Amino acid sequence: PMSPDTLLTGRILGFDRSPFDAGDPASAARLHEAVLIRGGRIVALGTAHALRAQAPQVARVDMGDALITAGFVDAHVHYPQTAIIASWGKRLIDWLNSYTFPEEMRFADPAYARRIADRYLDLTLANGTTTVASYCTIHPASVDAFFEAAQARGLRAVAGKTCMDRNAPEGLRDTAQSAYDDSKTLLRRWHGVDRLSYAITPRFSPTSTPDQLSALGALWSEHPDCLMQTHLSEQTDEIAWVRSLYPEVRDYLDTYEAHGLLGARGLYGHAIHLTSRERDRLREVGAALIHCPTSNTFIGSGLFDLAARMAEGQRVGLATDTGGGSSFSMLRTMAAAYEIGQLTGTALHPAQLLWLATAGSAQTLHMGHLIGNIAPGMEADLVALDLASTPAIAQRSARAGDIWEALFPTLMMGDDRTIARVWVAGTAFSPCHPRA
């Protein structure tokens, strides 16, 4: 379906560069009065007057005082964990065994998978997120369910079949060969269809045999344009377990590299407890780390030192890690990133937080030329933020001296009430607030 051409007015925020580069973070962003959208893409930014002259016939949509930014990009999620978000009392390995694996077992039923995929994407859109990179379950139908639901909404989305052939319960294990075969079939079915991309997805080294990691490494070398997503060094117990399962390797990262699973299109979730060798190697190959702050505090994993990684020139994206993470909201996720920044010694600027949740995450997905910013030629995935969405936020933002002071209370205290409207490739969605 064609999206309507629109002259959108409000306070439109685009980035000229990364606010982590040298200089004042605030100067990396620019406010515009209007944006012209045609055929689902951004055509021009400027004054309302100038764009009106350029497109006299186009319908105008005025968002008033709302701040319009690129839609949020959530670079690491598990859509199958939607219904077990906020489960009490466990750390990583026990949390997987107690809550996650039993829930993922239910995805043997394709109808259940489809129901949760719909619910998950309704929730993320209501939270202003327009692209996610999701793990599915070991069941191929869980991947079809997710891609069908994303396709129906016109979303740019990334997903892959989670592969596990050991240390998971009966019914939630594949094999090295079936993981390779099923991933390849799904990749051929979905990769590059509409706005969808396939990511090769070994869950993490403890749940794959070396044979399975090798098979998926081989698949990646046959399809080097695909992303590869996995977990790395999230908790210290997990790292000790990896050492015992792979006695021959130097470190956790080596379990991936030894099997062809390290590269520039690799997305390594968490990556909190890295050795200096691992940090240097990840940077050298141009791999991306995905910071999941609400997950890291919720499951008790540790403090990711974002400022140190950015200063080293490491590529980093931001993500909810739903349902290890405790929220569907990238606003809540930016707040948690700020709080972890405070605990590791750096106050992140609101421009840096917003950039991480949009352009930064898009770059880790190698989609920075398509999504994550408002600039001519890019796809019109946008979100309008009401910077006075609750009484508590409104009374604080009323005092703001500039746009960053006006935005920061919303980054800290906002939720789905903040989301005034979402556009997916130029088509507006009025957020719905789904119930089970």
Which residues sit at the interface with Zn ion, rule CB under 5 A? 269, 321
* Total length of the chain: 436
Chain centroid to CA 269: how far? 10
Which of 208, 295, 364, 397 contacts ligand GUN by CB under 6 A?
A: 295
Nearer to ligand GUN, 254 or 379 (CB): 254
CB of 146 to ligand GUN, least distance (A): 15
Which of 78, 156, 281, 349 contacts ligand GUN by CB under 6 A?
A: 78
Residue 80 touching ligand GUN (CB under 6 A): no
Residue 103 touching ligand GUN (CB under 6 A): no
Q: Which of helix, strand or coil describes residue 314? A: coil
Point out which span in 43-51, 92-100, 241-249, 311-319 binds ligand GUN (CB under 6 A). Answer: 92-100
CB of 334 to ligand GUN, least distance (A): 19
Q: 365 to each of 23, 46, 153, 184, 391, how far by Cα in Å?
A: 26, 28, 20, 20, 36
Question: Residue 323, preceding bond cis, omega within 30 degrees?
Answer: yes
33-51 burial code (b ≥16 CB/10 A, e <16): ebbbbbebbbbbbbebeeb
Nearer to ligand GUN, 96 or 393 (CB): 96
Residue 324 touching ligand GUN (CB under 6 A): yes
Please choose which of ligand GUN, Zn ion, none residue 204 contacts, taking the beta carbon within 5 to 8 angstroms, the exact cut-off set by kind. ligand GUN
What gap in Å lies between CA 289 and CA 304, rounded to an integer?
10
DSSP assignment of 237-290 equals HHHHHHHHH-TTSSSHHHHHHTTT--STTEEEEE--S--HHHHHHHHHHT-EEE
Nearer to Zn ion, 6 or 294 (CB): 294
Q: Where are the alpha helices (DSSP H) in 106-175?
A: 110-126, 140-152
Which of 156, 203, 349, 421 contacts ligand GUN by CB under 6 A?
A: 203
Count of chain residues binding ligand GUN (CB under 6 A): 12
CB of 76 to Zn ion, least distance (A): 6
Block residue for tokens 């004054």: 47
**Residue numbers of the site for ligand GUN (CB under 6 A)?**
78, 92, 96, 100, 203-204, 231, 234, 295, 299, 321, 324
